């Protein structure tokens, strides 16, 4: 019997397919740990030679794990590739959890983070995401929200975070990209001038317009040899 998924779940299912297409070379034939896996949508796309395990709270993961309490229950280097997509911003301990992702991975870690600055700027320019919540995940609605973020950061801060934690754990960021189209203001010089006047020096185009930030980390050759 088929079940109609809520819009958020449909979006996550489509995103899982996009993740497979974008990062197949880091997933095909590998052991994969999906941290914050929700309904484990990615499992539907992996090849027969790969193995998949999804953890988290909520949805229907293979294993329920509270990411905010202690070490994750896996050995060092237990998986070839570890994913953590749109999860860290929900946690009180993103630095510790990021370090755990690196500990558990034998080779590659893939992380995505939102760009709250761009979300907020879009609200200021275009209006709320929906009437009941002025700024998605960051507003203060009259009733408790079903979900929220605990960190507010820019695209450049997300990159600095990924670079710093990667280096701390013996990794390097080998790919960094963002979900973003061509900023409209590039087609409107007057808007560019207004923003140049309004915002402090150092606020970049990505900070105001870029979407989700994606980072691929690879363990350094020296540290890779240290992992059993």
If pLDDT is split at 50, 70 and 90, which confidence band does 74 have? very high
pLDDT for res 178: 92
Categorize the per-residue pLDDT at 146 as very low, low, confident or very high, splitting at 50, 70 and 90: confident
Average pLDDT of span 140-145: 80
d(CA 158, CA 96): 15
Please give the pLDDT value at position 185: 53
Q: Which residue has the higher pLDDT, 218 or 129?
A: 218
Long-range CB contact pairs, 36-42, < 8 A, 24+ = 36/67, 36/84, 36/85, 36/86, 36/87, 36/90, 37/61, 37/62, 38/9, 38/12, 39/9, 39/12, 39/13, 41/12, 41/13, 41/15, 41/16, 41/17, 42/16, 42/83
Q: Given this model, what pLDDT does residue 6 score?
A: 41
Residues 6 or more apart whose Cβ sits within 8 Å of residue 91: 67, 68, 97, 150
pTM of the entire structure?
A: 0.86
Task: Please name each of the domains of the chain with its CATH number.
Answer: 7-221 (3.40.50.150)
How far apart (Å, rounded) are the C-alpha atoms in residues 58 and 39?
8
Query: Of the ranges 72-81, 97-106, 127-136, 207-216, which one carries the lowest mean pLDDT score?
Result: 127-136
pLDDT tens profile 84-95 = 999 999 999 999
């Amino acid at each position: 019997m088929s079940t109609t998924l809520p819009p958020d779940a449909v979006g996550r299912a489509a995103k899982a397919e996009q993740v497979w297409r974008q990062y197949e070379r880091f997933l095909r034939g590998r052991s994969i740990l999906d941290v914050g896996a929700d309904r484990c949508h990615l499992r539907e796309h992996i090849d027969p030679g790969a193995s998949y395990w999804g953890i988290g709270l909520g949805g229907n993961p293979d294993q329920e794990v509270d990411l905010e309490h202690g070490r994750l229950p896996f050995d060092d280097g237990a998986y070839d590739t570890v994913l953590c997509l749109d999860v860290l911003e929900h946690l009180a301990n993103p630095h510790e959890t990021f370090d755990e992702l690196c500990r558990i991975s034998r080779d590659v870690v893939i992380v995505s983070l939102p760009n709250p600055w761009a979300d907020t700027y879009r609200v200021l320019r275009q209006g709320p995401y929906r009437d009941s919540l002025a700024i998605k995940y960051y507003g203060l609605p009259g009733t408790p929200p079903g979900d929220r973020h605990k960190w507010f950061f820019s695209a450049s801060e997300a990159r600095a975070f990924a670079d710093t934690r990667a280096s701390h754990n013996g990794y390097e960021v080998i790919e960094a990209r963002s979900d973003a189209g061509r900023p409209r203001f590039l087609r409107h010089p007057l808007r560019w001038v207004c923003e140049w006047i309004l915002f402090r020096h150092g606020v970049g185009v990505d900070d105001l317009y870029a979407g989700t930030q994606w980072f691929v980390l690879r363990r350094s050759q020296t540290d890779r040899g240290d992992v059993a």
